[in-house]
Amino acid sequence: MAKLRVGVVSPEREIWSGEADMVIAKTVDGEIGIMPGHAPVLGVLVEGGVLRVKRDSESDLVAAVHGGFLSVADNDVSVLAEAAELGSEVDVAAAKDALQRAQASIEADQEDADARLEAKRAAARLRAAGEEV
């Protein structure tokens, strides 16, 4: 079966690239799963989403992806994230800490959009690291 060529890039560096069987990402319309032979798609990713790359031989690659785009054409999948982090690279303690701080400021001020964003990001990082949120 044909494989997908996947690249996960952020403005500062290339996070990961390689071959995969399936890519699952979350766009503003909802979750989207890409398998080889998918029609060309350009989607806007949500803030604080989790990207899952399924590979047959190895375990899934999971990354926290904040904002950005997903572009699929000709079995080439590129994920352009404003910021991204592999699940294995996440500092769980720091992310938990960030989540708690963000939640505290949300409780203090319901309108705090920055804190909400921060909470989303921290939650995504924790989910990418395999923690329950």
Partner 1 sequence: MGAQLRLLRRRIKSVKSTAKITRAQELIASSRIVKAQQRMHAAVPYEREITHAVSAVLSNTSSVDHPLTVAKEQPATAGVLIVTSDRGFCGGFNANVLREAEALKAHLSGRGLEVKPFVVGRKGITWHRFRSREMSGEWDGFSDNPSYGHAKEIADALISSFKEADGIDEIHVVYTEFVSMLTQEVVVKRILPLEVEETEATPETVMPYYEFEPTAGDVLDSLLPRYIESRIFNALLQSAASEHAARRRAMKSATDNANELISVFTRQMNQARQAEITQEISEIVGGANALADAAAGKE
Among 18, 21, 24, 32, binds partner 1 (CB under 8 A): 32
Please choose, out of 75-83, 91-99, 104-112, 113-121, the segment that lies near partner 1 by the rule CB under 8 A. Answer: 75-83
Distances (CA, A) of 32 to 11, 38, 83, 93, 103: 23, 11, 20, 30, 28
**Contact status: 75 vs partner 1 (CB under 8 A):** no
Q: 59 φ, ψ to 5°?
A: -70, 165
CB of residue 101 vs partner 1: minimum separation in angstroms? 19
Among 43, 48, 49, 87, binds partner 1 (CB under 8 A): 43
Beta bridge partners of 119: none
3-class state of residue 71 by DSSP: strand
Return the DSSP state at 35: -
Among 2, 3, 37, 73, binds partner 1 (CB under 8 A): 73
Q: Are strands 14-20 and 22-27 parallel, antiparallel or unpaired?
A: unpaired
> Interface residues with partner 1 (CB under 8 A)?
7, 9-14, 17, 27-29, 32, 39-44, 68-71, 73-74, 78, 80, 82
